[in-house]
Chains A and B, each alone.
Chain A
Amino acid sequence: MSTRSNFYGGVGLRPSHYQEFLNQASKPSLKWLEVISENYFRTQGRPIKVLEKLRENYEVSCHGVSLSIASPEKIDPSYAKDMKEFYKRVEPFVVSDHMCWTGFSAHNVHDLLPFPYTQENLKNVVEKIQWYQEFLGRELAFENLSAYVQFRESDFTEEEFFQEILKRSGAKMLLDVNNIYVNSQNFDFDPLLYLQKISLENVVQIHLAGYSDMGNFLFDTHSRAVQPGVWELFKKFAAQKSLNCPVMIEWDDDIPKLSVVVDELHKAQEIWEGAKQGQGKLTLEQKIGESIDG
C-alpha cells in the first residue's frame, strides 16, 4: 500500500453483500474491506473462497472479536494458530481486535466486555499483546470499546490506559469514533479530551458506525446510519493533522444494500477531506469544550 495522504476508505465485508461485490456491474470502487477474522478461521467453503476472490481487487484488514486480550486466562494455542494461518493466507494490512475480554472459564459470551483499567490489568494485557505479536510476527491494533459499565477500581481513564498499552507493547490503536461518542454520552465526558491523551500517529484505522438511542442510554448497535453527533466528532478528529489513517463504515445489524453503506463512506470522505483542508485553523485545545451534540 502506498501513501495515505488522501482519504483511504473501506467498508466491513458482510455475507449479505457477497453477491454485490462479486458482480462486476455492482462492485463498488472501494480501496479496502474489513473482515471479521473468526468468520473465516475454520471454513473451507464459500466464505473463504469469496474472500480470496475479492482479495484480487481489494486490500483487506482483519478484525477479530474473540482474542480476549484482557482475560486473565491462558492463551488458547489453537485460536492463535488459526489466527496465524488465516493472516498468512489473506495478508491483511491491519490486524485488529478489541481492548476487552470475551468470556470466563472457557464460556465465550461473544461480547466485548469492559474491565477496570488497573495497573494489574495493564501488565496482563501488555504481556499478552507481546506474546501474540511475537507469535504472529506482526503488530496488532486494538479498538476502544463502547461500554455500559465502568469501575471505581480503575487507576487510569480509558485513554490513559490505551496510551500506556501503546507505549509499552508497541501495539497500535483502532479508533472507533462512534464508541467514544456513545461512552461520552453514557458516562458524561468530553470526547475531545480523550483524543488529547492518545498519540495519534499510533492510530492505524478509524471505525464509524450508528448507535441506537434507547431513551435511557445509547446502545452501540451498528444497525443504522452514522448519527449526526458522531459525524460532528469525526470532523473534529479528522481535523487533527497527525491523524491520518484508513477509515471504514461498520454495519452489522439490519444491514442495508451495499450502496447505502458506500454512501455513508462517501459522506465520511467529504467530511474527512473538508476537515483536512481546514487543518490548522483551530487547535485541538481551542476546540475542547465545544458542544458535540450537533
Chain B
Amino acid sequence: MAKVNFFEDFHKSIFSDLVYFRCIPGGQLSESQSYGVYRTGYYARATEALGEIYETTWRYLGDEDFFALVEKYVKANPSMSPNLAEWNYAFMDFSKDLFHDDELLSDLLTIDETYHNKFHSSGEYLKTIVDPLDEAMAPLLGLVVCDGQILKVSYKALSVWCELFSKDISKFDLEENYSSLLLFRAPSSSDPHTMNFQSLTLGSEKLLRMQKHFFGDWRKVLENWEAVNDFGPELNENDLSSAVSELLRKKVFQIL
C-alpha cells in the first residue's frame, strides 16, 4: 500500500497556500508556487470544460462573472467522475440558485444543458427534436424569454441527429451547420418567439471570426433590437421578423 498521507497532503497543498508535503520546486518557483501551478490548472480546466457546455451562458455573463461562477461551483461541487465533461452534474441548478432573479440566465442554462445532453444522447432519444431552430423548440425547453437575445447554435450535430436513427452512418450529412437563433418578445405581445435568421455552413476559422465580432457582445445585439423596436407598436409580427432578419443579415454579411 502506497503512503496515503503523501497523496492527502499533496492534494491539500494544491488547494491551499500552505505546503503540506515538502517538495523540490521546479524552475525558479517556490514550493508554494509549484503547488499553485496545479491549482491554476485545476480552475482553468474546470472553466474550459464547463464553458464548452454552457457556451451561451458564458457569453451572456461575460468572462469575469463566468469565471467567478465556475470557481464558486467547483469549490462546492468537486468532480467525482473520470470524465471532465461530467463535471457539470450540478452546474445548472447551482447557477440558477445563485442568480435566482435572472430569468433569462435560467433559460440560457436550460438551453445549454439540454443541447449538451442531446449531443451526447443516442439517436432514438434525439428523434424527439425535429428541428432545433423551429419554434417548437421553445415550449420543448420551457423557454420564457425576457429580452432579445441571439444564440449561436453551434451544436454542430443537431442537423445530423434530426434524421436519426439510421443504422448506416454513411447516409448522414456530417456537415456541421452553424445556425443562429434569435429569441425575442414582440412589442405587442407577451409571448416569446424564436426565429432562425441565418443558417450557415462555415469553416471553423470563419466561424470563430464571426463569433468574436458578431456574437461576442450580446449587448450590441440588444442595441440593434432597440432600433427595431423603434419601428413602433403598429409593426405586425411578420414585419418585425423581416426587419430583424434583414438587420441581422446585413451585419453578418459585413463580417463575412
- Which A residues lie at the B interface, using CB under 8 A? 16-20, 22-23, 38-39, 41-47, 49-50, 52-53, 65-66, 68, 70-72, 76, 79, 82, 101-111, 113, 115-116, 118, 120-121, 123-124, 147-153, 183, 185-187, 214, 216-219, 253, 257
Contact = CB atoms under 8 A, between A and B. Distances in A.
Contact of B26 (A38, A72, A148): A148
Given A70-B2, A111-B41, A104 B23 contact: no
A186 B1 CA distance: 30
Contacts, number: 164
Most interface-central of A18, A39, A46, A216 (chain B CB within 10 A): A46
Contacts of A106: 80
B156 A149 contact: no
A68 B23 CA distance: 20
Contacts of A103: 11, 79
A186 B119 CA distance: 41
A109 B11 contact: yes
Contact of A72 (B3, B119, B160, B205): B3
A17 B156 CA distance: 12
Given A72-B7, A108-B80, A151 B24 contact: yes
Interface of B: 1-4, 6-8, 10-11, 14, 21-29, 31, 33-35, 37-38, 41-42, 45-46, 48-49, 78-87, 118-122, 126, 156-157, 160-161, 169-170, 172, 174-176, 203-205
Nearest to B49: A110
B161 A104 contact: no
B121 A44 contact: yes
Contact of A216 (B2, B27, B204): B27
Contacts of A113: 10, 38
B204 A107 contact: no
14 contacts: A38-B82, A38-B84, A41-B83, A45-B119, A68-B82, A103-B11, A104-B8, A148-B26, A149-B31, A152-B22, A153-B6, A183-B26, A186-B26, A253-B48
A53 B161 CA distance: 15
Contact of A18 (B4, B37, B121, B176): B176
Nearest to B22: A152
A45 B24 contact: no
